[in-house]
Amino acid sequence: MSFNQLNNLQREIANEPSFENKLKIYQEYTKNYASLKSHPVDNEFAEELKKHSNIILLGIITDSTNTIISPLSKFLENNTMGIVSDFTDQDGLMRRVNPSFIHPQTKKQYDDLAVATIKKYLEQPATEHAIATDKNPESNIQNFPLENGKLLVNFFGDPFSFKEISFVDVLNKNFDTGTFTNKIVLVGVTTLKEGQDRVLTPRSNAIPMTGIEFRANEMQTILEGKFLQNQKTASLILMIFVIGFGLAILFIYTGIMVSFIGLLIGLGGYYFSAHLAYKSGLILNMVYPFIAILMAYIFAWIYRYFIADKKKREITSAFSHYVSEDLVEQISKNPDAVKLGGEKKVITVFFTDLKDSTALSEKTEITSWISQLNEYFTVMEKVIKHFGGTIDKYEGDAIMGFWNAPIADPDHILKGYMAAIEMKKYLKILNVKWAKDGRPTLQMRIGINTGEAIVGNMGSTGRFDYTAMGDTVNVASRLESCASKVYGGIVAVLGFEKFGNAEELKKKIVLREIDTVILPGKKDPMTIWEAVCGKQELTTEIQNNLQNYEKGLSAYRSKDFTSAENYFTACANDPVAEVMLARVKDLAGGKPIKDLSENMIFRIGNK
């Protein structure tokens, strides 16, 4: 009976629902094709088969009825039959076989073609075997691992990897001597152009593998002992938990870039590990662990967004109005460094105001004035944030800010002074622009004080601001509104001698002692200083003014008003010297000091 005839028989039996009819069809087929008298070639073939005892003939199990279609009985007089049974998985791939089969009616057990072939092969003397394994082949036959009664086939190459010799070459003896010696030789269709004996395998789901080569891989699996086993469910669950939990911790406590790199490494690492495990005979699950890795990544970022990073976002949102982006980033990385409830610490407080702004606003068209103020605030805010300052508030045309909070900064005094000096420079540039546009020019007054203050969120439960409170803040405000106002709009400073390193500061900032006064609301006199310019900006004119002013101030305190007048007169383009010159002239003429300071008290003598 030919292969096509067997296929026809199989189709007819499959389409017949009655078992009795199936049997009749089978008996009719065997009757028509079993007579060796009418087929002399079969007789000759049967006689030839009797001469050998190491031939395994193929039997087929039908899918629907479990009927075994076996070779003619005379073919099996001196040989064995091995059956094939195909089990295609849901993905359309064939990767497993049933190594044995018990017929449901006869209860007779049949070996799979590969198992029957290897058993026959191992009956020969061991010296004749060519088995590429150190394991005991006999134990492989008896004890290879099964899953649900099925053997997973290992594939040792892509389709057409095994050596093939055409039947014509065999008939013509066109092959190397010894090619078949001590070998298992499989005879079957090896071209995909003929017959239907082809399957798709995990090795290649695009190019089919012939059935005979599939059996060759099955035999190689058993002979070499390279069995495959799917990962156990318990092991899979444990692995998913370990991978998912471990990567979730990584994703939660690392940044975006590190997390993304970790995700790629996790996916690639598992894929690589799965291939290594496959070489060792273990088939790892290729779906759920990947899902676990992706879910860990997504869960981690959901957790960070709604829980872990919520506090950071709130702080970032709150402080983005006050400080530069660099400081916001530092705060977001270390939110515990910010005590939102308030804390006492040394800060450098900054106040600035515009001279005669009320009068100017009344003389200027309202939209133009607001536009000018917005431009002014925008530039000044950038300068303050550039030097790491915190914008506290805007009040009218005034700006309040401070340094060393919310993030500690050891250079807070220097940066506060540098910011004030830069703001003066930018105002000159703005004034040139505004003058060309026909807008009024502005003059700035600045007061800076360093000392202890309470810093934190102040206000009601429904509305609060991050601000600073305390005497240090009040003194800074008086410096701007009184001292800076009296002395021609200088950058009036206090506190650096007590709370900073004065010598180091003077190496970078030109500081000038201005006067000793009692500010409104205070009882003790304070020495007012001016932050003149950066050390690198010191010119010959400024140097001469500093020297003459120092001598003039000394003479003034000694009540030598004539000498003081000469020294102050020698100062060129110096608004502070002009104020002091007018004062000593009045004092020399017996007149009182003009009250330009809103009740600020001036100390004239050294005591």
Buried b (16+ CB within 10 A) or exposed e, 278-290: eeeebbbbeebbb
Give mean pLDDT in consecutive 10-residue pieces for the chain, a chain of 607 residues: 62 77 76 60 83 86 70 84 82 85 77 88 54 41 75 88 87 86 86 72 84 90 86 89 89 84 90 86 86 90 74 64 60 59 88 90 90 94 92 89 90 96 96 94 95 83 74 94 90 94 94 92 91 94 96 94 95 94 90 64 54
Residue 96: which of 140, 162, 145, 49 has the closest Cα? 145
Q: How far apart are CA 583 and CA 259, in angstroms?
A: 68
Residue 71: which of 106, 34, 118 has the closest Cα? 34
CA geometry: angle 355, 568, 548, nearest 5 deg:
115
The bridge status of strand 229-230 relative to strand 282-283 is parallel
- Say whether 172 sits in a helix, a strand or coil: coil
The answer to whether the beta carbons of residues 147 and 229 sit under 8 Å apart is yes
- Say whether 506 sits in a helix, a strand or coil: helix
The answer to whether the beta carbons of residues 78 and 102 sit under 8 Å apart is no
The answer to whether the beta carbons of residues 240 and 289 sit under 8 Å apart is yes
The answer to whether the beta carbons of residues 404 and 390 sit under 8 Å apart is no
Q: How far apart are CA 23 and CA 502, in angstroms?
A: 113
Beta bridge partners of 344: 454
342-531, CATH topology level: Alpha-Beta Plaits (3.30.70)
Looking at 114-203, which runs of residues are DSSP E strands? 151-152, 198-201
Report residue 562 as tokens: 């004539």
Give Rg (Cα) of the chain: 49
Beta bridge partners of 69: 60
Number of H helices, E strands in the chain: 22, 21
Element (H, E) at 102: strand 100-102
pTM for the model stands at: 0.55
Domain range list for the chain:
3-228, 231-308, 342-531, 539-597
Q: How far apart are CA 238 and CA 7, in angstroms?
A: 47
The answer to whether the beta carbons of residues 473 and 349 sit under 8 Å apart is yes
Residue 67: which of 127, 10, 119, 114 has the closest Cα? 10
Q: How far apart are CA 476 and CA 38, in angstroms?
A: 124
Beta bridge partners of 391: 401
Element (H, E) at 230: strand 229-230
Alpha helix (H) residue ranges in 253-356: 256-279, 288-303, 310-319, 325-333
Residue whose tokens read 């009045």:
586
